[in-house]
Structure 1
Amino acid sequence: MNTLRQYRIALQIFQSNRLRRDYRDLSEVPEYEPLGEFFFNEMYGPRDFSQRDQEGRRLHHFLGFLPGVRLRDLEEVLELLELTYQLDEDLAQRMLAADAGTDFDEMTYEYFYRLADKYDERFRQLTLVRSSLYNVFQLSRSPILGLALRRSHFVARLAGIGTVHTFLLRGYEALQNVATIEHFAETIYQRELDRLNRIYQR
């Protein structure tokens, strides 16, 4: 019998593949390609993100090493990571209880997605994706921040937050060739909102 962890991984694989399919046009824009890979792999990739998410809760101890960054600048990112984990965990538990199998198709996924009845939480997740993209894009304009991130990895590891530090550095680097975030952020927001409303028939 499949375990809860296997369902979580299966969900992450499905979601990453679905995003790659639905946003192939964005990832084919040269300036968005690194950002797309970050989005597909670091946000929704088929890996266990529990270490990164746990470290994110301790990030405020480290912000003194990152010039110009305040906790509130990253609060929405951290909330997004936590909410995404909670929604995936709930969905995985429902699928495990129903013995849905880890080789589920899109119709089965959307059935449990709708059954979970979490429209408000999903809408909040979507608004956090959009606002986080804008916030992190603004932070990525600072070359001093990039230098600080690259030089502070050892300190971050000593502080026990090496995984979330790597996540932040990769996000920063993925945005370096992006001239404007609006098209990327608004395309994701509108398509995902249309999909959310379709699934919940709103």
Structure 2
Amino acid sequence: MSADGDAILEHLRTVDAERRRRAASPDLGVRVAALKAYQQRRFSHTYADLLATSRYGPAARFFLDELYGPDDFSQRDAQFARVVPALVRLFPHEVVGTVRTLAELHALSEVLDSIAALHLPEGRVDTPAYVRAWQEAGREHDRERQIALTLSVGESLDRLTQHPLVRHSLRMMRGPARAAGLAELQRFLETGFDTFRAMRGSREFLSTVGSRERALAQALFAARFDEEGHLGDIALGQLP
């Protein structure tokens, strides 16, 4: 198999290891679910202005549902892992590269969610608990890598829209992809392609996402608590 295929499988093994870790510790699984739900609320709050626009709303919704959503993708990922050789063989190289980046983002996000969740209290996640969890988890470098991968997925989808033959190829792949068990991946790629093509240029959108995510990451790690446990005056307006 190709280097891309091997890398995709390795990232999926990382995701599976995190799921098994949570299954062995139900308490951790509950905390991760609460963290994911909070992060989805956070994204909706941070990008409320983009979600409300006709140009950027669909792309923001795509990121929210596909990259920040709390849905359980375990069955999809298990099916996906079995058909990676078919993916590498059937899809254009540019598309396979996009999937490799997506798989790395997926794996890193799952690892970071587990690490941060270990530092959460029981129950609903609020802003102070979220800030403390990130600070106690650390991993500033990995958070920056997560942001860079998120932007890379968007940039890859945008590049694909500049090649009309790729969209035609994706349409032609619907039957073979469904037969190979890749229908969910096919849906993701077509939705992402159509969303970014309709945006008519993603530079401003991705620049906004990058600047806000990095500003929030900086604020999270720089935030300080007073003696009573209250957050000091720090730029955390992105949090709900």
CA–CA distance in 1 between the matches of 2:145 and 2:82? 20
Residues in 1 aligned to 2:91 and 2:37: alpha-carbon distance in whole angstroms: 33
TM-score (norm 2): 0.72
Q: Which runs of 4+ in 1 moved over 6 A?
A: none
Question: Is the counterpart of residue 75 in structure 1 residue 96 in structure 2?
Answer: no
1:65 to partner: Cα distance:
3.4
- Correspondent of 1:26 among 46, 50, 70: 50
**What is the aligned length?**
198
Shift of 1:63: 4.1
Deviations along 1:62-82, whole A, 9 cap, x unmatched? 244334625334432221111
Aligned partners of 1:83 and 1:125 also within 8 Å: yes
- Three-state SS of the structure 2 residue aligned to 1:31 is coil
**Counterpart for residue 147 of structure 1:** 168
Of residues 55, 66, 87, the one that matches 1:62 is 87
CA gap 1:3/1:184 in 2 versus in 1, 3 angstroms: same
Alpha carbons 2:119, 2:133 under 8 Å: kept: yes
Q: 1:153 to 1:89 in 2, by over 3 A?
A: farther
> Could you list the runs of 5+ residues in structure 2 that have no partner in the other structure?
1-24, 224-240
2 CA distance for matches of 1:176 and 1:50?
29
Q: Which residue of 2 aligns with 1:38?
A: 62
The yes-or-no answer on 1:87 pairing with 2:112 is yes
- For residues 116 and 182 of structure 1, what CA distance do their matches in structure 2 show? 32
Q: Which amino acid aligns with 1:40?
A: L
**What secondary structure is seen at the aligned counterpart in 2 of 1:30?**
coil
TM-score of the two chains, using structure 1 as the length reference: 0.84
Q: Give RMSD over aligned pairs.
A: 2.5
Change in Cα spacing, 1:64 to 1:190, as seen in structure 2 (3 Å) is same
Residue by residue, what CA displacement relative to the aligned partner does 1:42-75 show, whole Å, maximum 9, x if unpaired? 1111211234445268545324433462533443
Which residues of structure 1 form unaligned runs of 5+?
none
The 1:89–1:194 alpha-carbon spacing in structure 2 relative to 1, beyond 3 Å, is same
Conserved 8 A contact 2:51-2:57: yes
Q: Is the Cα contact below 8 Å between 1:133 and 1:185 reproduced in 2?
A: yes
Residue identity opposite 2:133 in structure 1: F
Q: Which residue of 2 aligns with 1:16?
A: 40
Whichever residue aligns with residue 116 of structure 2, its letter is L
- Specify whether residues 6 and 147 from structure 1 end up closer, same or farther in structure 2 by C-alpha distance, changes over 3 A only: farther
Q: Secondary structure at the match of 1:48?
A: coil
User: Match for residue 140 of structure 2?
Assistant: 119
The separation in 1 between residues aligned to 2:144 and 2:113, in whole angstroms, is 14
